[in-house]
Amino acid sequence: LAKTTQPISMDSYEGQEVNITCSHNNIATNDYITWYQQFPSQGPRFIIQGYKTKVTNEVASLFIPADRKSSTLSLPRVSLSDTAVYYCLVGDKAAGNKLTFGGGTRVLVKP
């Protein structure tokens, strides 16, 4: 299983950009990197997914270097409602696509 490592927590202020880096040194060739957001007492919500280079959608950007051993989720101009736990996951194709959640990063956006 490709294990991921993220910072435990990050604080930010409204309007700032938040960048969360995830390490996944053992990522396999066919694995994709997926980020989820979770609010308290809710199921995780899909944010973005990528394989290499850069991916951008209406919510976030995902930067993946050439070696794919890490990835950075970028949240532009965060608001208070972006306070949540963010999980970085790497798909495990060999195990039927089951996902192994790491500890996640608790992001607190302050006014």
- Of 45 and 110, nearer to another protein (C-beta) is 45
41 scored as a contact of another protein (CB under 8 A): yes
- DSSP characters over 40-88: TTS--EEEEEESSEEEE-SS-EEEE-TT-SEEEEEE-S--GGG-EEEEE
91 scored as a contact of another protein (CB under 8 A): yes
Q: CB of residue 91 vs another protein: minimum separation in angstroms?
A: 3
Largest CA distance in the chain: 44
Q: What are the residues binding another protein (CB under 8 A)?
A: 31-32, 34, 36, 41-46, 49, 87, 91, 93, 96-104
